[in-house]
Each structure stands twice: as C-alpha cells, then as structure tokens.
C-alpha cells in the first residue's frame, strides 16, 4: 500500500521534496543572515543612515527581484502541471471514454489494474452503489449486485451498532450519494477519498478498491450533535 | 398630520417592533422532548406525566463496585398501562462514569455512558446491558428513566414514565464534583473581567495616586467611554483583543483537554461543538481583527503625520459596535444553547431546527461586526488617501500603512458578500424566509460561495497587516532600508487581487463544477509567488545589515520560520487529488494555525514589543520578552507541527473524539493518542507562556524604564513625536513634512499614484481646512 492511495502517492512525494528544498533554502538563508549580520554588542551601525522624518534610500535590485518572482512562478507552473494528472483519474467520466469503462453487468468483475507508468487506475467496468447520509448515520444500497461484490451488513463499533458495506478487492464502484437533511461528507479514509453530499443534489465518488482491509468511514463535514459518531464500517475482502 | 399623533404612532410602532424582536427568538427556545441531554432534566415528557404508579428498577449493580469489573444489569419496571404486546415501553439509563455495552438488538448506546432502547426494544419492559465500572474507584451516579406505554402508537397522556436515581459506591468515596464546562467558562470570563478592571484601576492609580477617588475616576472612565481620539480607541481595541484572545485560548484549552485521550468525556459533544464554533469566531472576529485595528488606529495616523483619523466619531462607533456584538455572539452560551455550527456556519445546518437557538444571536452579532468593519474600512481608506503629510506620496508611505490600506481594500470588497449571507440566514431563522430551505428551493451552496468569497480574503485581511509589521521591524532591526520597497507593495497588492479568485479551493469536495475547481487550483497556487517575493525581500533586507536583537526582532524572525512553514503546507491543498484526502483534517488545522498564529499573532506580538514604548512611554522588559518568545515559540510548534501527521493518517477536525485502530477496524494508529496528549500539554504551555507578556505589559506600565521618542532608530513619523504622543498627535497647523533620501525621485508620484490621487481627491477639494 502506498502512503494513502497510489493516485496521489507520487504527487505527495514530489510536493514533500520541493517543500523540503524551498524550506531548506529559506531557513538556511535565514539562519546564516541572523548570525552573520548581527550587530556587535552596544554598536549601532546605521547601515543605510535611517533618520526620523526622512524616507530611506532605496535598496533594491531589479534582477534579483525578477529572479525570485520568475523562479517560484516556474515551480508553481510545474507543480500545477503534475497536480493535473491525477485529476483525470479522480474525475474520470462514467462512460466508455473514462478510465473505468461502462457499468458492469451484475456478475462481471471490474478487473482493476494500477498502471504504474500512467500513474492511474484502469478497469474494464464499474459497479454502481448508493450511499445516503442523514443525521447521524449512513445507508448503503448495493442494488442487484451479487453479495460477493457488494453487501450491506451491520457491525458494532465501540458499542454502537453501525452500517457496514462489504466490497471486493479488484472492483471499482461508482458511489451515487445524497443527503436527507444537512451537508455530510463520507470520507473513505484508507482510500484517501471524500465528497460532500447535499440534500438538493446527487454527487458521485469513484472507489477503486485494491487493498484488503477493514476501515472506518467518517463524516468529514460537520453536521450537528452526534457528528463524531456518524461512522460506518467498510470491509474489503479478497 | 399633527406632530403629537406622529410621535405617538412612532412610539407604538417602536414598541411593537421591540416586542416582536424579543418574542420572535423566544418562541423557538422552549426546551422539551426526550432526546439528548434534556432527558436528565425534563424527563420523558412526550409520554404523559410522571406517575408514581410506574416504578423503574435496576438489578445487578453492587453496593460497592470493583474497579474495571464488568456487571450485567437488568432494567425493568412495574405498573403503568397494560401491555398490548407491541410498543410496551422504553428506557434511558445514564451513568456519571463507566461504560455501557448493549447485549442485544433491543438496546443501543447514545454515548459511552448512556444507553436507551432500540425500535425493537420498544416491545419490552425488561432489558439487559453490561456496565464496565471505571478504574478510578470514585462513587458513580445513575439516572434511569422508564416509560410504560399503552401500545396505541401515539405519545398520549395514557402513557406514564418515572425516574430512579441511585448511586454505587466506589472504594475511594465520592471524589471531586465535576463542574459544568459552561460554568467553568463563565467563571473564567468573570475572573478575566475582574482582573482586567483591577489592572485598569491600578493603571489609573499609578497615573496619579493622590487623586485616586471617585470624583476623579468617574470623568476618567467617561473620557475612555466617549473618546474619539485615535490613540484611546486604539488602546480600547488592543485591550479588548487581548481579553478575547485569552477567552478564545480558554476555549482552546477545554477543547485540548477533551482531545487529550481518545473517547474522553470531559465535555459532551454538544459542548465541544459550541466551544470550537466560538473559538473560531472569537479568534478571527474578536481577537485578530481588533488587534490589527488597535495598531492601525494607533500607528497609521502617526505614520502619515495626521493628527487623527479622518472620521473620529465613526471610528468610535466602529469600536463600540464590537462589545455589543460580542455579547450577542455569546448570548446562547449562557443558556447552554451557544452557536454550534463551526465558524463557517454551513447551510442548510445553520438554518435547520437541529442547530442551537443561540445561532440566531451569533448571526446577529456577526452582522454588527460586518457593520463595524465596513465603517473602519471607510475611515482608514479616507484617512490614508487624504491626510498624508506633505512630501509623502503613495510610494513614500511606510509599509505598515500600506498593509493597512491593502487589507482594508480587500475587506471592503469582500465583506458585503458575508453581510448578505448573514442577513439571509438571520431572516431564514427568524421570519422563515427560504434562502437556504431546501424544501422550498433554497441553495445551500450559495452560502458556501458567499462565505468563502469573504472568508478567504479575510485570511489575507488579517495576515497582510502582519506583513507590514514585519517589514518595519526587520528593516529597523537590521538598520537598513527595506529591500525592494516597490516590489513589497506590488506583492501585497498582488496577494489581495489573487485572494478574490482562489476561494474555490475551500470547496473542492463540495460537488462544485470540476471546471471551476480546476481554475481555482491554478489561481490558488499563484498566491505563492507574491508571498515568496515578500519572504525573500525580508531575508535580503538583513543582508549586509547590522541586526540588533530585541524581543520584537526575535518575534519577527520567528514569524519568518512559522509563516514559511504555513505557506509551504498551504501548497498541498490546491492539488485537488491530495485535497480530497486532506480537506477537513488536522492537516488543515495545522496549516491555518501556522498562518494565523505563526503569521498574524507572531507578527503582532512583534508589533507589541516594537510600538509599546511609543504607546505608553515605557520600555518593556527584554528578559521577560525573551522568555515569552522562547517558551511560546517552542510550545507553539509542539502543538501544531504534529497535527500535520495526524491529519494525513486520518484525524478529522470538528469531532469531539477519535478512534484508534482495533483488531476489527483500521482507524488512527496507537501513536496518534500519544501525540494528542503531547499536543494538549504543549497547548497549556503555550497558553501560560503568554502570561509573561501580560506580566510584562502590566509591570512595565507601572515601573518600566522611560522610553525615548525613537528607541529603535526608525525613520517614519511616529518616531518623531514624544512617547507617548500628545493629543492631537500632530499640530493641525504645523504638520511634519517628509524628506526623501532619494532626492532625484522625491515628490514625483508614480503613474499609478497620480491616477489614484485624482480618483480619491477632486482637485477643488485638495485643501483640507480645519
């Protein structure tokens, strides 16, 4: 398993690398100047002859200022470019042009594959399931899918009876979601994926399931009194 | 129409409006029902009245429990209407400690220490549950409510309920009584007010011990309450902001106690929700913005050589709206019905019946703050545009004044959207309009757009003035001109412009159009460019300088560290693929506290140590100041740095507890609990480290070394006046004239400056007479 999900693992690593580089340069520079240019005890070396009521002499350097405008700009363009790639996978269309093909017939497998070269998941088809949120619980609906591919059950989590959905490794699910009351946000933590649900609209979320694991699904958008216990189980089997 | 009739009708109308305003929120605020916390006080009042004929009972509890032992309890009742076979009855069992575990589908947990019947359990009058005794050995109280129903499917008067109170002894006796967190908060507020009043009285006494009597105190107090002098109003803002900073900090401590261990029940979910809502609202609107306004009031007129602000009475009105707004914002807390929506107040929850009644007054208070901020914006824009001293063109203004100008322009253009949204919510909650009522076609995303159109620029409104402070402090401390004065101004302006086209990154998971999400991903990343320019310019300012280490210098250098870290962590959010995981986690909490505490607060801590001698005529104690910096800087990083990792591994914000992985389910790793304890300890250290600042302010006000006019060697006009400055700050007829060390370009306004001058000041009104 990657850091969170392979979709943005490479992105995360690259952002951390550039952050360390920018932070290293900035803090190295700050550390050096803080000590190297400190004043001697009791000496007031008024370098630019600052005087009350006199606007100080300009201290600038156009080349330097343009440099540290353009270099970060180029870095930003690069980071924006690499951030673009996973979006295709996150927002891929639900038809034959998309990464996950069209909806599977009931018993067909998605055959999910992680394409290391492209940095994205692909599959032959996907399954549609429904998720409904309400204060402070969830309801899953697997429609007519075989129990091996999707099944709703109940589990006990910290003494509370909660909904659980059983999913199958190697399958892709398109979750159609809406809320019955206020804004919620199902967060499939181990899959690094969430999307808000509103009472007035249906939102969608792709779940490419490739790890066998039982984990909690939390509500990430504050929804009132029992928000912290608006949880469900997600069980992925081989 | 006769004048008398008109007056009478006006009076009647006013009285009716007043009655309507008082009654309208009140009709919604009657407690009742069986749910939530109210059952402990109101009982099962949806099932007829309490009847001595129904007798609840519990068996299986010992007279004295053994620590951590498991007991199987049977709950039952006798009496009441005859059973019909269905819907026979129900119960609610609460304990002051320990944990309940349901044994079958007839019972469910409402919280670790509260159980009730399920829908299936409604067909019985006997239930079983396991209770795990606490480990501390103190006495435990139980409250049992049972209701017997006649099975007709309605909550009729024929149904009866009753209550049973009992206590189980522990080996160590009763222990300390736990206090209601609201009472703790209320007590701390009262103590803070008393301490503040005592400090002010002491300040008055020190001013003139021989005239310390009511005859002299009364006009002294009246002078503070009615003053229109920018310095006095600045001080009022400053004192109010420190008070609310402390109050917001107390709420943060209550939050951190709750989160110190997983599953903690120090405060209930309901109380936690109110505390984090008020913590956010207080820190942004009642602490950060007044702190900025305090310094803007004090320093901007002095820096531009003006005797006062352009509209002094409007300035007083801006300030005095704030205490009353604060009272409205806190109204609900005093009845345990404080706002519980988060400072973002997302619709439709904010207009739903589930949100507390205090939300209405919380919204009303914020509407007053919008009015206050708008008036403040008008005042500063006007003052800076028309009251600069001779010789001070736009491109000769001190950078702190520039930062206040840019921040107020930003605020002025964004806050109307927030005001409109608040008024819509207020109307939805009071007279049942339907702006956010889904059933009537309302749009919840409209609130998100209105809020974040204001909310994101608001972050820059509070950070840009800190940029101004750091520019002043770094340059003066390094004994240099600021590097790249012009690019500093263009960078601030660039940040302000970009801030209006980036807010969509707060809504990446909202279901908003993917096209709009992609566009705001690009624009959000752009903010890093002007911000980077400022950081590199500050570093270059130190190059070749002669850095004098004072407390304000330490805070400015600390700011460079923490704000840079906050800026770097901010770069992870525009990448949508990462944001869908990191959104609403502790990674976000860490990021914005690195920006708002490590940026705004550290910047203004620097401002306090830098300008306090000017404001009071007393030097602050450098040893106490250094101690404050070291303890606060270390403990602050101990709080927020680990939160990045907690967010990445899945700790969600705005939740009063968190789940650790078990054999059955993966959640947070075990070390997350250890880090939360560490964070809570650091939070207390950070909170108490700020008492060094309070002590420094109070002690040096009384006994500090006298400050010269220009203790740090600054160049701008505030250092020309005495410390403290006279009133008016400059003579209206003998104002200072700014000289320019760059003689060749002095008094030549740039193209932009000339255009802005023409825009703001008509030629025939350039002469301001007094």
Q: What confidence score (pLDDT) does residue B286 get?
A: 95
Chain mean pLDDT for chain B = 87
Q: What is the pLDDT of residues B491-534, one digit of tens each?
A: 999 999 998 888 888 888 887 777 888 888 888 999 999 999 99
How far apart are alpha carbons B356 and B369 in whole angstroms? 21
A 175-204 residues with CB < 8 A to B: 181-183, 185, 187, 189-190, 192-201, 203
Looking at the fold, whether B392 and B536 belong to one and the same domain comes out as: yes
Three-state SS for A113? strand
Inter-residue contact B92 to B144 (CB < 8 Å)? yes
Looking at the fold, whether B120 and B236 belong to one and the same domain comes out as: no
Q: Tell me if B546 and A44 make a contact (CB, 8 A cut-off).
A: yes
Looking at the fold, whether B432 and B326 belong to one and the same domain comes out as: yes
How far apart are alpha carbons B179 and B412 in whole angstroms? 44
Catalytic residue among B161, B436, B460, B712: B460
Inter-residue contact B368 to B328 (CB < 8 Å)? yes
Q: What is the pLDDT of residues B371-392, one digit of tens each?
A: 999 999 999 999 999 999 999 9
Q: How many folded domains does chain B comprise?
A: 2
Report the 10 Å Cβ neighbour count for B355.
Answer: 24
Domain-embedded: residue B55: yes
Looking at the fold, whether B389 and B298 belong to one and the same domain comes out as: yes
Q: Nearest by CB to B575, which of A19, A23, A83?
A: A83
Instruction: Tell me the chain B residues in contact with residue A76 when contact means C-beta distances shorter than 8 Å.
Output: 525-526, 528-529
Supply the ipTM of this predicted assembly.
0.95
The shortest C-alpha distance from B655 to chain A (Å) reads 5
Catalytic residue among B125, B356, B429, B506: B506
The DSSP 8-state label assigned to residue B57 in this structure reads E
Instruction: Tell me the chain B residues in contact with residue A200 when contact means C-beta distances shorter than 8 Å.
Output: 438, 442-444
Q: Tell me if A215 and B666 make a contact (CB, 8 A cut-off).
A: yes
Catalytic residue among B123, B159, B160, B308: B308
Percent of chain B with pLDDT over 90: 56
Domain-embedded: residue B725: no
Domain-embedded: residue B218: no
Q: Tell me if A161 and B102 make a contact (CB, 8 A cut-off).
A: yes
Give the ranges where chain A is alpha helix by DSSP (H). Answer: 6-36, 62-90
Q: Tell me if B720 and A26 make a contact (CB, 8 A cut-off).
A: no
Residue B34 pLDDT exceeds 70: no
Looking at the fold, whether B313 and B164 belong to one and the same domain comes out as: no
Residue B748 pLDDT exceeds 70: no
How far apart are alpha carbons B699 and B622 in whole angstroms? 12
Phi, psi of B266 (to 5 degrees): -60, -45
Nearest CA in chain A to B545: A37
Instruction: Tell me the chain A residues in contact with residue B108 when contact means C-beta distances shorter than 8 Å.
Output: 160-161
- Is B648 at the interface with chain A, CB within 8 A? yes
Domain-embedded: residue B17: no
Residue A75 pLDDT exceeds 50: yes
Question: Which residue segment(s) compose the domain that B372 sits in?
Answer: 227-719
Phi-psi group of B123: left, alpha or beta (phi > 0 → left; psi -120 to 50 → alpha; rest → beta): alpha
Domain-embedded: residue B507: yes
Looking at the fold, whether B455 and B524 belong to one and the same domain comes out as: yes
- Is A29 at the interface with chain B, CB within 8 A? yes
Three-state SS for B316? helix
How far apart are alpha carbons B421 and B419 in whole angstroms? 5
Angle at alpha carbon of residue B656, lines to A203 and B418, rounded to 5°:
55
| DSSP-assigned states of every residue in B747-766 | T---HHHHHHHHHHS-GGG-
Domains of chain A by start residue, with CATH: 6-32+54-90 (no CATH), 126-237 (2.60.40.420)
Q: Tell me if A86 and B577 make a contact (CB, 8 A cut-off).
A: yes
Q: What confidence score (pLDDT) does residue B587 get?
A: 95
The shortest C-alpha distance from B482 to chain A (Å) reads 7
Catalytic: B272? no
The DSSP 8-state label assigned to residue B38 in this structure reads G
Query: Which of A222, A224, A235 should be substituted to probe chain B, the one whose Cβ sees the most B Cβ atoms within 10 Å?
Result: A222
Q: Tell me if A64 and B99 make a contact (CB, 8 A cut-off).
A: no
Nearest CA in chain B to A189: B650
Average pLDDT value for residue range B436-465: 91
Report the 10 Å Cβ neighbour count for B6.
Answer: 10
Q: What is the pLDDT of residues B684-704, one digit of tens each?
A: 999 999 999 999 999 998 889
Residue among B318, B362, B306 at smallest CA distance from B338: B362
How far apart are alpha carbons A101 and B768 in whole angstroms? 73
Average pLDDT value for residue range B110-123: 83
B727-742 per-residue burial string, b: 16 or more CB within 10 A, e: under 16: ebbbeeeebbebebbb
Looking at the fold, whether B281 and B164 belong to one and the same domain comes out as: no
pLDDT band at B432 (very low <50, low <70, confident <90, very high): confident
Instruction: Tell me the chain B residues in contact with residue A60 when contact means C-beta distances shorter than 8 Å.
Output: 483-487
CA distances from B381 to B9, B313, B378, B404 (A): 41, 15, 5, 9
Q: What is the pLDDT of residues A88-122, one digit of tens each?
A: 777 888 888 888 999 998 678 888 998 888 888 89
Angle at alpha carbon of residue B364, lines to B359 and B370, rounded to 5°:
125
Q: Tell me if B580 and A34 make a contact (CB, 8 A cut-off).
A: no
B588-612 per-residue burial string, b: 16 or more CB within 10 A, e: under 16: bbbbbbbbbbbbbbbbbbbbbbbbb
Q: Tell me if A189 and B557 make a contact (CB, 8 A cut-off).
A: no
Q: What is the pLDDT of residues B304-356, one digit of tens each?
A: 999 999 999 999 999 999 999 999 999 888 777 899 999 999 989 999 888 99
Catalytic: B739? no
Domain-embedded: residue B248: yes
Give the end of a domain, one of B122, B147, B168: B168
Give the end of a domain, one of B118, B148, B168: B168
Residue B632 pLDDT exceeds 70: yes
Looking at the fold, whether B583 and B696 belong to one and the same domain comes out as: yes
Domain-embedded: residue B749: no
Residue B766 pLDDT exceeds 60: no
CA distances from B449 to B120, B337, B453, B754 (A): 43, 27, 6, 36
B 672-731 residues with CB < 8 A to A: 709-710, 713-717, 719-720
Six-digit token string for B659: 């789940």
Catalytic: B216? no
Instruction: Tell me the chain A residues in contact with residue B533 when contact means C-beta distances shorter than 8 Å.
Output: 65, 68-69, 72
- The three state secondary structure string of B182-196 is HHHHHHHHHHHHHHH
Q: Tell me if A15 and B578 make a contact (CB, 8 A cut-off).
A: yes
- The domain spanning residue B625 has which CATH number? 1.20.210.10
Catalytic: B231? no
pTM of the predicted protein model: 0.82
Instruction: Tell me the chain A residues in contact with residue B484 when contact means C-beta distances shorter than 8 Å.
Output: 59-61, 64-65
How far apart are alpha carbons B450 and B444 in whole angstroms? 10
Average pLDDT value for residue range A191-196: 90
Report cis status (omega within 30 of 0) of the bond before A136. Answer: yes
Give the end of a domain, one of B168, B184, B209: B168
How far apart are alpha carbons A67 and B770 in whole angstroms? 48
The DSSP 8-state label assigned to residue B66 in this structure reads P
Tokens 């020190």 appear where? B206
Three-state SS for B565? helix
Report cis status (omega within 30 of 0) of the bond before B724. Answer: yes
Q: Nearest by CB to A220, which of B546, B578, B652?
A: B652
Q: What is the pLDDT of residues B542-568, one digit of tens each?
A: 999 989 999 999 999 999 999 999 999
Domain-embedded: residue B448: yes
Q: What confidence score (pLDDT) does residue B38 get?
A: 53
pLDDT band at B761 (very low <50, low <70, confident <90, very high): low
């Amino acid at each position: 398993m990657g850091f969170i999900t392979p979709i943005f693992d490479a992105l995360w690593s690259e952002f951390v690398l550039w952050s360390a580089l920018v932070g290293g340069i900035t803090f190295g520079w700050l550390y050096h100047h803080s000590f190297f240019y400190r004043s001697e005890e009791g000496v007031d070396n008024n370098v630019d002859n600052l005087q009350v009521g006199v606007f100080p002499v300009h201290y600038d350097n156009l080349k330097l200022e343009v440099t540290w405008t353009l270099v970060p700009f180029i870095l930003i363009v690069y980071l924006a470019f690499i951030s673009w790639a996973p979006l295709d996978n996150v927002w891929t269309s639900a038809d034959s042009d998309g990464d996950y093909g069209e909806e599977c017939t009931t018993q067909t497998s998605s055959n999910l594959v992680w394409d290391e070269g492209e940095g994205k998941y692909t599959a032959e088809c996907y399954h549609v399931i429904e998720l409904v949120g309400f204060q402070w619980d969830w309801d899953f609906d697997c429609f007519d899918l075989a129990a091996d591919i999707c099944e709703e059950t109940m589990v006990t989590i910290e003494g509370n009876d909660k909904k659980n959905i059983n999913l199958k490794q190697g399958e892709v699910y398109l979750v159609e979601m809406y809320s019955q009351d206020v804004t919620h946000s199902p967060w499939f933590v181990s899959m690094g994926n969430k999307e808000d649900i509103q009472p007035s609209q249906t939102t969608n979320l792709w779940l490419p399931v490739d790890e066998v694991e039982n984990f909690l699904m939390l509500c990430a958008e504050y929804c009132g009194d029992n928000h912290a216990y608006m949880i469900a189980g997600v069980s992925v089997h081989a | 129409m006769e004048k008398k009739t008109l007056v009478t009708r006006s009076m009647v109308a006013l009285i009716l409006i007043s009655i309507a305003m008082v009654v309208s929120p009140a009709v919604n605020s009657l407690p009742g029902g069986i749910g939530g916390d109210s059952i402990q006080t109101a009982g099962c009042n949806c099932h007829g009245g309490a009847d001595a004929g129904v007798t609840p009972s519990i068996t299986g509890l010992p007279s004295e429990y053994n620590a951590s032992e498991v007991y199987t309890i049977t709950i039952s009742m006798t009496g009441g209407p005859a059973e019909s076979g269905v819907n026979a009855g129900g119960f609610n069992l609460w304990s002051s400690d320990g944990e309940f575990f349901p044994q079958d589908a007839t019972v469910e947990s409402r919280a670790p220490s509260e159980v009730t019947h399920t829908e299936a359990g409604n067909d019985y009058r006997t239930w079983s549950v396991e209770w795990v005794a606490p480990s501390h050995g103190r006495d435990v109280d139980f409250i049992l409510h049972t209701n017997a129903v006649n099975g007709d499917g309605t909550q009729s008067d024929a149904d009866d309920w009753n209550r049973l109170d009992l206590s189980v002894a522990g080996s160590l006796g009763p222990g300390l009584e736990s206090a209601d967190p609201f009472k703790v908060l209320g007590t701390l507020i009262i103590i803070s007010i008393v301490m503040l009043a005592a400090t002010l009285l002491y300040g008055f006494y020190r001013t003139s011990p021989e005239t310390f009597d009511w005859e002299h105190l009364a006009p002294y107090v009246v002078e503070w309450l009615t003053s229109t002098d920018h310095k006095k109003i600045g001080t009022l803002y400053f004192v109010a902001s420190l008070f609310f900073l402390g109050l917001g900090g107390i709420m943060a401590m209550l939050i951190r106690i709750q989160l110190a261990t997983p599953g903690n029940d120090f405060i209930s979910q309901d109380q936690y929700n109110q505390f984090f809502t008020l913590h956010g609202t207080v820190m942004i609107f009642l602490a950060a913005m007044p702190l900025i306004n305090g310094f803007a009031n004090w320093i901007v007129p002095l820096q531009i050589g003006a005797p006062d602000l352009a509209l002094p009475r409007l300035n007083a009105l801006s300030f005095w709206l704030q205490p009353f707004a604060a009272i409205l914002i806190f109204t609900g807390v005093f009845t345990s019905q404080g706002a519980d929506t988060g400072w973002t107040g997302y619709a439709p929850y904010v207009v739903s019946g589930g949100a507390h009644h205090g939300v209405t007054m919380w919204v009303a208070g914020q509407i007053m703050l919008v009015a206050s901020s708008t008036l403040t914006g008008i005042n500063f824009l006007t003052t800076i545009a028309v009251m600069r001293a001779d010789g001070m063109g736009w491109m000769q203004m001190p950078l702190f004044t520039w930062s206040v100008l840019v921040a107020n322009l930003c605020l002025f253009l964004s806050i109307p959207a927030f005001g409109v949204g608040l008024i819509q919510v207020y109307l939805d909650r009071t007279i049942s309009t339907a702006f956010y009522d889904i059933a009537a076609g309302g749009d919840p995303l409209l609130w998100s757009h209105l809020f974040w159109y204001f909310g994101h620029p608001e972050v820059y409104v509070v950070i840009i003035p800190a940029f101004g402070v750091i520019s002043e402090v770094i340059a003066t401390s390094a004994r240099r001109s600021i590097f790249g004065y012009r690019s500093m101004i263009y960078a601030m302006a660039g940040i302000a412009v970009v801030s209006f086209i980036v807010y969509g990154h707060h809504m990446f998971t909202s279901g908003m159009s993917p096209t709009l999400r992609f566009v705001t991903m690009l624009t959000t990343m752009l903010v890093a460019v002007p911000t980077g320019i400022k950081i590199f310019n500050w570093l270059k300012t130190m190059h070749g300088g002669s850095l004098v280490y004072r407390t304000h210098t330490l805070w400015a250098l600390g700011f460079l560290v923490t704000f840079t870290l906050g800026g770097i962590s901010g770069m992870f959010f525009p990448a949508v693929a990462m944001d869908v995981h990191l959104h609403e986690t502790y990674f976000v909490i860490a990021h914005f506290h690195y920006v708002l505490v490590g940026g705004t607060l550290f910047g203004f801590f620097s401002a306090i140590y830098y300008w306090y001698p000017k404001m009071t005529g007393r030097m602050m104690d450098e040893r106490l100041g250094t101690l404050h910096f070291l303890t606060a800087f270390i403990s602050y990083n101990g709080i927020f740095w680990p939160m990045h990792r907690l967010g990445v591994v899945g700790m969600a914000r705005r939740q009063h507890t968190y789940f650790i992985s078990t054999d059955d389910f993966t959640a947070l790793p075990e070390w997350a609990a250890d880090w939360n304890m560490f964070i809570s300890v650091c939070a207390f250290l950070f909170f108490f480290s700020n008492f060094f600042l309070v002590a420094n302010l109070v002690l040096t006000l009384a006994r500090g070394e006298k400050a010269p006019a220009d203790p740090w060697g600054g160049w701008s006009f505030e250092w020309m006046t005495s410390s403290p400055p006279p009133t008016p700050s400059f003579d209206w007829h003998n104002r200072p004239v700014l000289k320019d060390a760059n003689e060749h370009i002095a008094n030549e306004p740039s193209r932009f400056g000339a255009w802005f001058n023409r825009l703001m000041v008509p030629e025939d009104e350039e002469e301001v007479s007094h």
